[in-house]
Structure 1
Amino acid sequence: MNDFDFLNKDTFEADKYKDMVKSYYEKDKPTQWFDHIYESAKGDYTKVFWADLEPSPYLVSWLKENPINKANKRACVIGCGVGDDAQALSEFGFEVIAFDISPKAIELCKNRYPDTKVQFIVADLFDYPKEWFESFDVVYECNTIQVLPDEYRKKARTSMTSLLSKDGYILVSCRSRDEHEKEDEIPKPLSKSEIDEFITVQNLKEQSFLAYDDEQVPSVPHFFAVYKK
C-alpha cells in the first residue's frame, strides 16, 4: 500500500484528498499532484475516483448539433483523464490530441484504447508544444480550471484560448458556484464572473451557456459554455 491509496475509487477519502491538494498549493506546485490520482488506480482505469467512464453528454450533444464540415478538422482535449471525451471527438471525425500532465493517466488511456486514432500525449498546459499554438478547431476543457488556485486559473484560461485556431470553439465544462461563495473549497467551482473572463479578458464570443444541476445526490451545480474565437 502506498501513501495515496486513499484516492482509489473504492477507498476515496475526500478530506485527505483536499489536504493533499492544499499541500501542493502551498508549495506553489499546483499541478504536481495529478499523477497520484492515476497511480492510485494501479493500472485499472475504473478505479480513478473522478472518472465518469463515459463521454460528457453535453459534449456529445454539441457535436451532434454543431457539425464542423471541413477537411482535417482538429480537436484538443485538456487534462484528458482516462480518455472518454477524446475518444468521442475522434469518433466524430476529428484528428485529436489529448494531453494530461500525468504520465500515469496517459498510460491508462493507451491501455484502454489500444487501437485508437487519438494521440494521447504527456504535456503541460502551461508549457505545451509550440506547434499547438492556434491550431485547433475545437478545444475541450472539463474540470481543469476548478482544481487550480486563483493565479493559475487566469493563466489556464489564457493558455487554453491560445490553442484555438481562427473561428475555433472552446467548450468549457465545470462545477459552478454563486459569487463570493465556496471561496476556500477544493476543488473550487467557477462563478459566473469567472467563466465570463473567456469573454471579458480573452475576447471570445459566447455561443451558448447552460447552468444545470447534475443527477448526483445531492445534486451539484454546473456550467457548460461554448465560446468562439
Structure 2
Amino acid sequence: MDEAARREFLSMVASYQNRGDPTGWFDKVYRDAQGDFRGVFWADLAPNPYLVSWLEEHPVSGENLWAVVVGCGVGDDAEAISAHGYQVIAFDISPAAIDLCRKRYPNTHVEYRVADLFDHPKDWAQRFDLVYECNTIQVLPGDYRIRALNAIADLVAPGGNALVSCRSRKTGEKENEFPLPLDRPEIDGFVRAGLKEESFVVYDDDQAPPVPHFFGCYTRPLKSV
C-alpha cells in the first residue's frame, strides 16, 4: 500500500470510528477485494507460524475438541487449526470475509459464520478448548479494546487455552499509530480477565523493517470441585 492509499484507508477507518462504528470498515475492505481473497491487503495467505508451532507441540488428545477463531479474515489460521484435529468455528463481523472463506475453501470442515465479538451467541461463553485471536484488539479504539479482550477471554472453557498474536510496543510508545500495538500491561489484561499465562514470546517478524510482536498462551484454570 503506497502512502496515498494508506492516507485514504486511515481516513476511511477514522470516519467509521467517529460515528461510533469501530468495526464497520472491515466489511468495506473485504468487499473491495471483489471476491478475490488475494485482494485483502493485510492477508498473509498462510497460517501464523507461531500458531502452527504451538499446534504441533500440543497435539489433540481426544475427540470433540472445539476451537474458535476470532476475526478469521480469509481463513488460513482456521484451516490450520482444523487440520490439527479441532472442530472449528471461525467468525468475522464482515459478511464479505465469510463469503471469501467459503469460496476459498469449498470443501472445508470449518464452520464459517458471521458473528459479532461484542454480541456473540450466549452459548459460546466458556465453551471452547482453544481460542485463537490475531490482530483484532490492535485495530480497535479506546474502551473497545478492553471489551474485546474480555470477550475473547470469556470464550475459553475451563482447562482451555487462548492463543493471542499481536503487534507489540513498549509502554508510552507509538500511542498515535494505527493499528495501535499492544503493550505488556494491556495484553496482561488476559490475566486480569481470569486466565493464567502459560507462555509468552516476544519476537520480530520478517518484514523490512521488522515489526515487534507478542505471542501469548493463556489457560482458564479448571473449576474446583
* TM-score, normalised via structure 2 length: 0.95
Give CA deviations for 1:77-132 in whole Å, capped at 9, x if unaligned: 00000000000011011100000000000000000000000000000000011121
List aligned pairs for 1:1-229, cutoff 5 A.
13-199=5-191, 201-229=192-220
Q: CA deviation at 1:203?
A: 2.1
CA contact (8 A) 2:43 2:74 kept: yes
- After superposition, the C-alpha distances for 1:33-57 in whole angstroms (9 at most, x for unaligned) are 1001101111100110000000001
Task: Work out whether residues 209 and 226 of structure 1, in 8 Å CA contact, stay in contact via their aligned partners in 2.
Answer: yes
Identity %: 55
Whether the aligned pair in 2 keeps the contact of 1:12 and 1:49 (CA below 8 Å) is no
Q: Which amino acid letter does the alignment assign opposite residue 217 of structure 2?
A: V
CA distance in 2, matches of 1:21, 1:167: 37
TM-score by length of 1: 0.93
Which stretches in structure 1 are left out of the alignment for 5+ residues?
A: 1-8
Q: Which whole-Å CA distance do the structure 2 matches of 1:56 and 1:28 have between them? A: 31
Q: Distance in 1 between matches of 2:75 and 2:86?
A: 14
- Matched residue pairs, number? 220
- Any conservation in 1 of the 2:60–2:85 contact (CA below 8 Å)? no
Separation in 2, partners of 1:132, 1:224 = 23
RMSD: 1.4
Report the alpha carbon displacement of residue 204 of structure 1 after superposing the two structures with TM. Answer: 1.0
List structure 1 runs of 4+ shifted beyond 2 angstroms: 9-12
